[in-house]
Protein backbone atom coordinates (compact mmCIF):
# COMPACT_ATOMS: atom_id res chain seq x y z
CA UNK A 1 0.00 0.00 0.00
CA UNK A 2 1.38 3.39 -1.00
CA UNK A 3 1.95 5.89 1.80
CA UNK A 4 -0.35 8.86 2.13
CA UNK A 5 1.12 11.94 0.51
CA UNK A 6 1.32 15.27 2.33
CA UNK A 7 -1.59 16.49 0.16
CA UNK A 8 -3.91 13.61 1.00
CA UNK A 9 -6.96 14.55 3.02
CA UNK A 10 -6.78 12.33 6.08
CA UNK A 11 -9.37 11.56 8.74
CA UNK A 12 -8.16 10.51 12.20
CA UNK A 13 -10.73 8.44 14.10
CA UNK A 14 -10.38 7.26 17.69
CA UNK A 15 -12.22 4.10 18.76
CA UNK A 16 -13.51 3.46 15.24
CA UNK A 17 -16.27 0.86 15.16
CA UNK A 18 -15.16 -2.16 13.14
CA UNK A 19 -18.38 -4.14 13.43
CA UNK A 20 -18.26 -4.18 17.23
CA UNK A 21 -14.46 -4.13 17.56
CA UNK A 22 -12.74 -0.86 18.39
CA UNK A 23 -9.08 -0.26 17.50
CA UNK A 24 -7.48 2.69 19.29
CA UNK A 25 -6.90 4.84 16.22
CA UNK A 26 -7.56 4.76 12.48
CA UNK A 27 -6.15 7.10 9.87
CA UNK A 28 -8.29 6.98 6.70
CA UNK A 29 -7.76 8.49 3.27
CA UNK A 30 -9.14 7.58 -0.16
CA UNK A 31 -10.45 4.20 0.93
CA UNK A 32 -7.19 3.21 2.58
CA UNK A 33 -6.27 3.14 6.25
CA UNK A 34 -3.64 2.76 8.90
CA UNK A 35 -5.14 0.90 11.86
CA UNK A 36 -3.34 1.44 15.19
CA UNK A 37 -3.39 -0.51 18.44
CA UNK A 38 -1.61 1.09 21.39
CA UNK A 39 -0.35 -0.77 24.45
CA UNK A 40 1.81 0.23 27.38
CA UNK A 41 3.17 -2.70 29.42
CA UNK A 42 0.25 -5.05 28.87
CA UNK A 43 0.00 -7.92 26.40
CA UNK A 44 -2.47 -8.10 23.55
CA UNK A 45 -5.68 -10.01 24.14
CA UNK A 46 -5.93 -13.43 22.52
CA UNK A 47 -6.54 -12.98 18.76
CA UNK A 48 -6.81 -9.20 19.15
CA UNK A 49 -4.85 -8.26 16.04
CA UNK A 50 -6.25 -11.09 13.90
CA UNK A 51 -9.74 -9.78 14.74
CA UNK A 52 -8.75 -6.26 13.70
CA UNK A 53 -7.19 -7.63 10.53
CA UNK A 54 -10.34 -9.53 9.59
CA UNK A 55 -12.53 -6.44 10.06
CA UNK A 56 -10.08 -4.10 8.32
CA UNK A 57 -9.84 -6.41 5.30
CA UNK A 58 -13.63 -6.52 5.06
CA UNK A 59 -13.85 -2.71 5.29
CA UNK A 60 -10.92 -1.58 3.13
CA UNK A 61 -9.79 -4.66 1.17
CA UNK A 62 -6.75 -6.84 1.81
CA UNK A 63 -4.26 -4.48 0.16
CA UNK A 64 -5.68 -1.17 1.38
CA UNK A 65 -4.82 -1.16 5.06
CA UNK A 66 -1.87 -1.68 7.35
CA UNK A 67 -2.04 -2.78 10.98
CA UNK A 68 0.37 -1.00 13.34
CA UNK A 69 1.08 -1.98 16.94
CA UNK A 70 2.86 0.40 19.33
CA UNK A 71 3.85 -0.96 22.72
CA UNK A 72 6.30 -0.42 25.57
CA UNK A 73 8.90 -3.07 24.71
CA UNK A 74 9.88 -5.26 21.79
CA UNK A 75 8.97 -8.51 23.57
CA UNK A 76 5.34 -7.31 23.69
CA UNK A 77 5.14 -7.06 19.89
CA UNK A 78 3.05 -10.09 18.99
CA UNK A 79 0.38 -11.42 16.61
CA UNK A 80 2.19 -10.30 13.43
CA UNK A 81 1.34 -6.62 12.93
CA UNK A 82 2.39 -5.10 9.61
CA UNK A 83 4.54 -2.73 11.66
CA UNK A 84 5.52 -3.16 15.30
CA UNK A 85 6.97 -0.15 17.13
CA UNK A 86 8.01 0.71 20.66
CA UNK A 87 7.09 3.99 22.30
CA UNK A 88 10.77 4.90 22.53
CA UNK A 89 10.79 4.86 18.70
CA UNK A 90 7.94 7.37 18.72
CA UNK A 91 9.78 9.47 21.34
CA UNK A 92 12.90 9.53 19.14
CA UNK A 93 10.92 10.53 16.05
CA UNK A 94 9.18 13.36 17.89
CA UNK A 95 12.48 14.73 19.19
CA UNK A 96 14.08 14.48 15.76
CA UNK A 97 11.07 16.20 14.17
CA UNK A 98 11.20 18.99 16.77
CA UNK A 99 14.87 19.57 16.02
CA UNK A 100 14.05 20.18 12.36
CA UNK A 101 10.65 21.89 12.56
CA UNK A 102 8.93 24.85 14.19
CA UNK A 103 5.44 24.26 15.55
CA UNK A 104 3.36 26.65 17.61
CA UNK A 105 2.02 23.90 19.87
CA UNK A 106 5.44 22.42 20.58
CA UNK A 107 4.63 22.16 24.28
CA UNK A 108 2.10 19.41 23.52
CA UNK A 109 4.81 17.21 22.12
CA UNK A 110 7.12 18.02 25.02
CA UNK A 111 4.40 17.03 27.46
CA UNK A 112 3.79 13.76 25.61
CA UNK A 113 7.50 12.90 25.60
CA UNK A 114 7.72 13.64 29.32
CA UNK A 115 4.76 11.32 29.86
CA UNK A 116 6.52 8.53 27.97
CA UNK A 117 9.68 9.10 30.01
CA UNK A 118 7.78 9.03 33.32
CA UNK A 119 6.22 5.68 32.40
CA UNK A 120 9.53 4.12 31.37
CA UNK A 121 8.72 4.27 27.66
CA UNK A 122 11.20 6.94 26.61
CA UNK A 123 14.82 6.26 25.62
CA UNK A 124 15.89 2.97 27.23
CA UNK A 125 17.94 3.55 30.39
CA UNK A 126 20.73 1.29 31.63
CA UNK A 127 18.51 0.34 34.59
CA UNK A 128 15.17 0.28 32.87
CA UNK A 129 11.68 0.87 34.22
CA UNK A 130 10.74 -2.69 33.31
CA UNK A 131 13.82 -4.15 35.03
CA UNK A 132 13.03 -2.33 38.28
CA UNK A 133 9.42 -3.56 38.25
CA UNK A 134 10.62 -7.10 37.50
CA UNK A 135 13.34 -7.22 40.17
CA UNK A 136 11.50 -9.17 42.87
CA UNK A 137 9.72 -11.57 40.48
CA UNK A 138 13.07 -12.25 38.80
CA UNK A 139 14.71 -13.09 42.13
CA UNK A 140 12.00 -15.66 42.78
CA UNK A 141 12.05 -17.03 39.23
CA UNK A 142 14.88 -19.52 39.65
CA UNK A 143 13.42 -21.03 42.81
CA UNK A 144 9.99 -21.39 41.21
CA UNK A 145 11.42 -23.04 38.09
CA UNK A 146 13.45 -25.43 40.24
CA UNK A 147 10.35 -26.29 42.24
CA UNK A 148 8.41 -27.00 39.03
CA UNK A 149 11.17 -29.33 37.84
CA UNK A 150 11.29 -31.09 41.21
CA UNK A 151 7.54 -31.73 41.25
CA UNK A 152 7.45 -32.86 37.60
CA UNK A 153 10.34 -35.27 38.18
CA UNK A 154 8.15 -37.27 40.59
CA UNK A 155 5.87 -38.37 37.77
CA UNK A 156 5.93 -42.08 36.78
CA UNK A 157 8.19 -41.53 33.76
CA UNK A 158 9.10 -45.24 33.60
CA UNK A 159 5.75 -45.86 31.89
CA UNK A 160 7.08 -43.99 28.85
CA UNK A 161 10.48 -45.69 28.69
CA UNK A 162 11.29 -49.33 27.79
CA UNK A 163 11.59 -51.71 30.77
CA UNK A 164 14.94 -51.56 32.49
CA UNK A 165 16.00 -48.30 30.82
CA UNK A 166 14.59 -45.64 33.14
CA UNK A 167 17.20 -44.19 35.52
CA UNK A 168 15.86 -40.85 36.72
CA UNK A 169 18.40 -38.41 38.07
CA UNK A 170 17.56 -35.02 39.55
CA UNK A 171 20.79 -33.04 39.93
CA UNK A 172 21.47 -30.79 42.88
CA UNK A 173 18.74 -29.64 45.21
CA UNK A 174 15.17 -29.29 43.91
CA UNK A 175 16.27 -29.42 40.30
CA UNK A 176 18.98 -26.78 40.42
CA UNK A 177 21.83 -28.34 38.48
CA UNK A 178 24.66 -29.24 40.87
CA UNK A 179 23.82 -26.20 42.99
CA UNK A 180 25.00 -23.66 40.39
CA UNK A 181 24.39 -22.50 36.84
CA UNK A 182 27.47 -24.16 35.35
CA UNK A 183 25.64 -25.68 32.42
CA UNK A 184 22.78 -23.20 32.15
CA UNK A 185 20.25 -26.01 32.44
CA UNK A 186 17.64 -26.76 35.11
CA UNK A 187 16.03 -30.14 34.66
CA UNK A 188 16.22 -33.88 35.18
CA UNK A 189 17.62 -36.87 33.33
CA UNK A 190 15.61 -39.96 32.44
CA UNK A 191 18.33 -42.42 31.38
CA UNK A 192 20.99 -41.54 33.94
CA UNK A 193 23.83 -39.05 33.55
CA UNK A 194 27.42 -38.87 32.37
CA UNK A 195 28.64 -42.34 31.49
CA UNK A 196 25.09 -43.49 30.74
CA UNK A 197 24.51 -40.97 27.95
CA UNK A 198 24.58 -43.43 25.07
CA UNK A 199 22.35 -41.54 24.38
CA UNK A 200 20.56 -40.04 27.36
CA UNK A 201 17.42 -37.93 27.60
CA UNK A 202 17.21 -34.67 29.57
CA UNK A 203 14.08 -32.63 30.27
CA UNK A 204 14.03 -29.05 31.48
CA UNK A 205 14.73 -25.39 30.85
CA UNK A 206 17.77 -23.95 29.13
CA UNK A 207 18.12 -20.86 31.31
CA UNK A 208 21.49 -19.86 29.84
CA UNK A 209 22.17 -21.01 26.27
CA UNK A 210 25.83 -20.02 26.17
CA UNK A 211 27.06 -23.49 27.24
CA UNK A 212 25.04 -25.11 24.48
CA UNK A 213 26.36 -22.53 21.96
CA UNK A 214 23.08 -21.50 20.38
CA UNK A 215 20.32 -18.96 20.97
CA UNK A 216 16.88 -19.40 22.46
CA UNK A 217 14.00 -19.79 20.02
CA UNK A 218 12.49 -16.61 21.47
CA UNK A 219 15.18 -14.13 22.56
CA UNK A 220 13.08 -12.97 25.53
CA UNK A 221 12.51 -16.29 27.34
CA UNK A 222 14.28 -19.61 27.94
CA UNK A 223 13.79 -22.76 25.91
CA UNK A 224 11.92 -25.73 27.30
CA UNK A 225 13.70 -28.71 25.81
CA UNK A 226 13.68 -32.48 25.67
CA UNK A 227 17.30 -33.08 24.68
CA UNK A 228 19.21 -36.10 23.46
CA UNK A 229 22.64 -36.28 25.08
CA UNK A 230 25.83 -38.24 24.41
CA UNK A 231 28.96 -38.77 26.45
CA UNK A 232 31.56 -37.71 23.90
CA UNK A 233 34.43 -39.05 26.01
CA UNK A 234 33.06 -42.58 25.65
CA UNK A 235 31.42 -42.20 22.25
CA UNK A 236 33.39 -39.53 20.33
CA UNK A 237 32.14 -40.70 16.92
CA UNK A 238 28.55 -41.48 17.82
CA UNK A 239 27.21 -39.37 14.93
CA UNK A 240 29.01 -41.64 12.42
CA UNK A 241 27.01 -44.66 13.53
CA UNK A 242 24.38 -45.58 10.89
CA UNK A 243 21.74 -45.96 13.61
CA UNK A 244 22.33 -42.37 14.75
CA UNK A 245 21.19 -40.85 11.48
CA UNK A 246 18.30 -43.30 11.18
CA UNK A 247 17.09 -42.44 14.68
CA UNK A 248 17.38 -38.68 14.28
CA UNK A 249 15.74 -38.65 10.85
CA UNK A 250 12.80 -40.66 12.17
CA UNK A 251 12.43 -38.40 15.22
CA UNK A 252 12.64 -35.24 13.12
CA UNK A 253 9.86 -36.45 10.83
CA UNK A 254 7.70 -37.52 13.77
CA UNK A 255 8.09 -34.20 15.59
CA UNK A 256 7.37 -32.16 12.47
CA UNK A 257 4.20 -34.16 11.78
CA UNK A 258 2.84 -34.81 15.26
CA UNK A 259 4.17 -31.89 17.33
CA UNK A 260 4.38 -28.83 15.05
CA UNK A 261 4.58 -26.45 18.02
CA UNK A 262 7.95 -28.00 18.92
CA UNK A 263 11.12 -27.38 16.93
CA UNK A 264 13.42 -30.32 16.22
CA UNK A 265 16.79 -28.60 16.46
CA UNK A 266 19.78 -30.57 15.13
CA UNK A 267 22.79 -28.67 16.46
CA UNK A 268 25.32 -30.78 14.57
CA UNK A 269 23.75 -29.74 11.28
CA UNK A 270 23.01 -26.15 12.29
CA UNK A 271 26.40 -25.08 13.64
CA UNK A 272 30.05 -25.23 12.67
CA UNK A 273 30.91 -25.41 16.38
CA UNK A 274 28.16 -27.44 18.05
CA UNK A 275 28.05 -28.75 21.60
CA UNK A 276 28.36 -32.44 20.79
CA UNK A 277 27.25 -33.49 24.27
CA UNK A 278 23.76 -32.22 23.41
CA UNK A 279 23.21 -32.52 19.64
CA UNK A 280 19.40 -32.67 19.55
CA UNK A 281 16.90 -30.34 21.22
CA UNK A 282 13.17 -30.84 20.80
CA UNK A 283 12.17 -27.45 22.10
CA UNK A 284 9.70 -24.60 22.42
CA UNK A 285 9.83 -21.25 24.25
CA UNK A 286 9.07 -21.51 27.96
CA UNK A 287 6.31 -18.93 27.62
CA UNK A 288 4.55 -21.06 24.99
CA UNK A 289 4.86 -24.17 27.15
CA UNK A 290 3.16 -22.46 30.11
CA UNK A 291 0.83 -20.09 28.25
CA UNK A 292 -2.66 -20.10 29.73
CA UNK A 293 -1.71 -21.89 32.96
CA UNK A 294 -2.97 -20.29 36.17
CA UNK A 295 -1.63 -22.39 39.04
CA UNK A 296 1.51 -24.29 39.98
CA UNK A 297 -0.39 -27.53 39.46
CA UNK A 298 -1.52 -26.39 36.00
CA UNK A 299 2.12 -25.84 35.12
CA UNK A 300 3.25 -29.21 36.47
CA UNK A 301 0.53 -30.98 34.47
CA UNK A 302 1.39 -29.00 31.32
CA UNK A 303 5.10 -29.83 31.57
CA UNK A 304 4.33 -33.52 32.11
CA UNK A 305 1.84 -33.58 29.24
CA UNK A 306 4.13 -31.93 26.68
CA UNK A 307 7.16 -33.96 27.79
CA UNK A 308 5.09 -37.15 27.51
CA UNK A 309 4.10 -36.26 23.94
CA UNK A 310 7.79 -36.11 22.98
CA UNK A 311 8.73 -39.24 24.92
CA UNK A 312 6.05 -41.24 23.12
CA UNK A 313 7.76 -40.43 19.83
CA UNK A 314 11.12 -41.47 21.25
CA UNK A 315 9.59 -44.64 22.69
CA UNK A 316 8.34 -45.56 19.21
CA UNK A 317 11.72 -44.81 17.60
CA UNK A 318 13.30 -48.25 17.35
CA UNK A 319 16.64 -46.97 15.92
CA UNK A 320 17.09 -44.79 19.04
CA UNK A 321 17.00 -47.76 21.39
CA UNK A 322 19.00 -49.92 19.01
CA UNK A 323 21.70 -47.21 18.92
CA UNK A 324 21.74 -47.07 22.70
CA UNK A 325 22.25 -50.83 22.93
CA UNK A 326 24.88 -50.87 20.16
CA UNK A 327 27.01 -48.13 21.67
CA UNK A 328 26.93 -49.68 25.11
CA UNK A 329 27.97 -53.02 23.63
CA UNK A 330 30.84 -51.44 21.69
CA UNK A 331 32.10 -49.39 24.65
CA UNK A 332 30.88 -50.64 28.02
CA UNK A 333 30.28 -47.72 30.36
CA UNK A 334 32.58 -47.42 33.40
CA UNK A 335 31.05 -47.18 36.89
CA UNK A 336 28.86 -44.09 37.37
CA UNK A 337 30.95 -41.07 38.37
CA UNK A 338 29.63 -38.63 40.98
CA UNK A 339 30.96 -35.51 39.31
CA UNK A 340 28.75 -33.76 36.73
CA UNK A 341 29.29 -33.73 33.01
CA UNK A 342 27.99 -30.83 30.93
CB burial of residue 127 (10 Å; 0-12, 13-18, 19+): exposed
Same domain, 153 and 71: no
Same domain, 112 and 157: no
- 57 Cβ contact list (under 8 Å, min separation 6): 65
- Confirm whether 136 is domain-assigned: no
- Confirm whether 1 is domain-assigned: no
Same domain, 194 and 309: yes
- Confirm whether 132 is domain-assigned: no
Same domain, 94 and 219: no
- Confirm whether 130 is domain-assigned: no
Helix 296-315 vs helix 242-258: crossing angle, to nearest 10: 130
Same domain, 308 and 193: yes
Q: What pLDDT does 175 receive? A: 43
Half-sphere exposure of 206 (CA within 13 A, CB side): 25
- Confirm whether 335 is domain-assigned: no
- 245 Cβ contact list (under 8 Å, min separation 6): 239
User: Do residues 263 and 321 touch, judged by C-beta distance below 8 A?
Assistant: no
Parallel/antiparallel/unpaired status of strands 65-71 and 32-38 = parallel
- Confirm whether 32 is domain-assigned: yes
- 232 Cβ contact list (under 8 Å, min separation 6): 238, 276, 277
Same domain, 264 and 211: yes
User: Do residues 131 and 282 touch, judged by C-beta distance below 8 A?
Assistant: no
Q: What pLDDT does 201 receive? A: 96
Same domain, 109 and 148: no
Same domain, 208 and 294: yes
User: Do residues 268 and 279 touch, judged by C-beta distance below 8 A?
Assistant: yes
Same domain, 323 and 195: yes
Same domain, 209 and 292: yes
Which alpha helices (H) appear in the chain, and where do they start and end?
48-60, 87-100, 106-118, 129-133, 135-153, 242-258, 267-270, 286-290, 296-315, 318-330
The count of residues in the chain is 342
CB atoms within 10 A of CB 122: 19
CATH number at residue 23: 3.40.1350
Q: How many domains does the chain have?
A: 2
Q: pTM score > 0.75 for this model?
A: no
Range of the domain at 70: 11-118
Mean pLDDT of successive 10-residue stretches along the chain, which has 342 residues: 65 88 91 93 90 93 94 89 95 89 78 92 85 84 89 95 92 51 81 88 90 84 94 93 96 97 94 91 95 94 98 97 92 53 46
Q: What pLDDT does 107 receive? A: 85
- Confirm whether 57 is domain-assigned: yes
- 339 Cβ contact list (under 8 Å, min separation 6): 194
Same domain, 164 and 112: no
- 8 Cβ contact list (under 8 Å, min separation 6): 29, 30
- Confirm whether 126 is domain-assigned: no
Same domain, 59 and 182: no
Q: What pLDDT does 178 receive? A: 40
User: Do residues 212 and 268 touch, judged by C-beta distance below 8 A?
Assistant: no
Q: Taking Cα atoms as reference points, which of 56, 44, 49, 48 lies closest to residue 18?
A: 56
Amino acid sequence: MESFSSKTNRAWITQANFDGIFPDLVCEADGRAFVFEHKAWSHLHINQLPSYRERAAAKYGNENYRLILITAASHLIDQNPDLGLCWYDVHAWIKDWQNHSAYESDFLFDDFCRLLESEGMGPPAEISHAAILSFLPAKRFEAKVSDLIYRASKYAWSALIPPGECNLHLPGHHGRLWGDDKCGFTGFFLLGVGALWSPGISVGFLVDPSDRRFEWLNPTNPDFTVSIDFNTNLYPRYSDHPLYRAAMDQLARAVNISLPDFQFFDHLSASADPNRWHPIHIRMPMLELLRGTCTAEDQRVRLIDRTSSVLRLILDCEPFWALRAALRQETPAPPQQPEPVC
